[in-house]
Amino acid sequence: RRLISLAEDRQAPAIVRATALERLARIPSPESLRVAEKLLDSPDTQIQLAALARLETELDAIESQFDPAAGIA
């Protein structure tokens, strides 16, 4: 929850917010996904890239569920 608060804190420096988003990618949750989607519209490129990284983590997880090479169809 603290990482989510940091990521959403508009008073925090962009590097702090982006780092919080990057760490959220390691512990996926519906709430962190919601925050990442919202922060894609950030005017700061660092935050946008961190949000994309979080979304990429989600896509990788979804893809792995349907990867025939993993033995799951």
Amino acid at 64: S
Amino acid at 41: D
Q: What are the tokens at 30? A: 């519906």
Whole-number pLDDT of residue 70: 60
Per-residue confidence of the chain (73 residues) as pLDDT tens digits?
Answer: 899 999 999 999 999 999 999 998 888 788 989 999 999 999 999 999 999 988 888 888 777 777 666 655 5
User: Global pTM?
Assistant: 0.78
Coil, strand or helix at 11 = coil
Residues 20 and 7 sit within 8 Å (Cβ to Cβ): yes
Amino acid at 46: Q
- The structure tokens 């760490």 sit at 23
Integer Cα distance of 52 and 68 in angstroms: 25
Whole-number pLDDT of residue 68: 67
Q: What are the tokens at 3? A: 């990482």
